[in-house]
Homo-oligomer: A and B are copies of this chain.
Amino acid sequence: MTLTTETPTPKPAEARPNAARGALRGSLQQLLAFASLIVIVIFFSIASPHFFTTANIISIFTAATVTGTLALGTTFVIITGGIDLSIGTGMILCGVMAGVFLTYWGWPLWAGVLGAVLFGALIGVVNGFNVAVLKIPPFIATLGMMLIAAGLALVISGTKPIYFKETPDFQSIMNLSIIPGVRFPLGVAVFIVLIVLSALLLSKTIVGRYTFSIGSNEAATALSGVNVVKWKIIIYTISGLFVGIAGVLSASRLSSAQPTGGMGLELEAIAAVVIGGTSLQGGKGSIVGTVIGALIMAVLTNGLRIISVPQEWQSVAVGLVILIAVYLDMLRRRSA
The count of residues in chain A whose C-beta lies closer than 8 Å to any C-beta of chain B is 48
Contact B144 A319 (CB under 8 A): yes
CA distance A320 to B148 in the complex (A): 7
Is there contact, CB below 8 Å, between B137 and A316?
A: no
* A219 touches B (CB below 8 Å): no
**Cβ contact within 8 Å between B279 and A137:** yes
Interface string of A133-170 (1 = CB under 8 A from B): 01111011101111111111011000100000000000
Question: Within A239-298, which residues are at the interface with B (CB < 8 Å)?
Answer: 263-264, 267, 270-271, 274, 279-281
Cross-chain contact B322 with A137 (CB below 8 angstroms): no
Q: For A274, give its contact among B137, B317, B330, B334 (CB under 8 Å).
A: B137
Which residues of chain B are within 8 angstroms of A147 by Cβ–Cβ distance? 315-316, 318-319, 322
A334–B135 contact, CB under 8 A?
yes
**Does A312 interact with chain B (Cβ within 8 Å)?**
yes
> Interface code A308-336, partner B: CB below 8 Å = 1, 0 otherwise?
00111111111110110011001000100
The answer to the question of A45 belonging to the interface, with a C-beta cut-off of 8 Å to chain B, is no
Q: In the complex, which residues of chain B have a beta carbon less than 8 angstroms from the beta carbon of A323?
A: 130, 136, 140-141, 144-145
Copies in the complex: 2
CB-CB under 8 A from A279, the residues of chain B are: 137
Contact residues in B for A148 (Cβ distance below 8 Å): 315-316, 319-320
- Which of B135, B146, B281 sits near A319, CB closer than 8 Å? B146
Question: A266's closest neighbor in chain B, by CB?
Answer: B267
A135 touches B330 (CB 8 A): yes
- For chain A, residues 157 to 190, give those with C-beta under 8 angstroms from any C-beta of chain B: 159
Most B C-beta atoms less than 10 A away, residue of A310, A317, A319: A319
List 14 other contacts, CB 8 Å, given A151-B312, A155-B316, A159-B312.
A137-B274, A137-B326, A139-B274, A140-B271, A140-B274, A140-B322, A143-B322, A144-B326, A145-B319, A146-B319, A147-B319, A148-B319, A148-B320, A151-B316
